[in-house]
Structure 1
Amino acid sequence: MSLADASDLTTHSHADDHGAEITGAGWVYTIVALLVVLWGTSIALFGIPGLYIPAVGAVPVIFLALVLISRG
């Protein structure tokens, strides 16, 4: 078999997947990617304050999450 051999190509087209749903992990990855893009935009617009102000603002949320996790 060589690189030019087309025998192992599939004929399945992703055009058939119009009704495909996003799984739970897909939503998590989408939200994380959106947050990273928004943070990058903040850095591009505001420079160094755009880098650390969102991180400082996230501290209470993360602290609350840690408290909730530790309480079980």
Structure 2
Amino acid sequence: MSLASASDVSAPTTKTKLDPATWVWAGIALLVALWGTSIVMFGVPGLYIPAVALVPVVYLALILISRG
């Protein structure tokens, strides 16, 4: 057996499916990473402008929650 032998490599037999919670956490991690990138690129405006842009979204979500 050498280091480049094809017999040493085993192919996966089954595919694993990710549960929805994994996708949610991956999405949250992506948003935090993008927000951090905007802070690095633009400084303080990169910190507060995305938060200010989400104010109408949160306001609408609160209205929808309160209406049942």
Structure 2 length normalisation: TM-score? 0.77
Residue in 2 that maps onto 1:71: 67
Q: Separation in 2 of the partners of 1:42 and 1:62?
A: 21
Matched, 1:35 2:31: yes
The answer for unaligned runs of 5 or more in structure 2 is 1-10
1:70 CA displacement: 0.9
Q: Residue 52 of structure 2 is aligned with which of 56, 66, 69?
A: 56
Stretches (4+) displaced over 6 A: none
Structure 1 vs Structure 2: percent identity of aligned residues? Answer: 60
Structure 1 length normalisation: TM-score? 0.73
Higher mean C-alpha displacement, 49-58 vs 23-32: 23-32
Matched, 1:20 2:16: yes
Q: Separation in 2 of the partners of 1:36 and 1:29?
A: 11
Residue in 1 that maps onto 2:5: none
Aligned AA for 2:23?
Answer: W
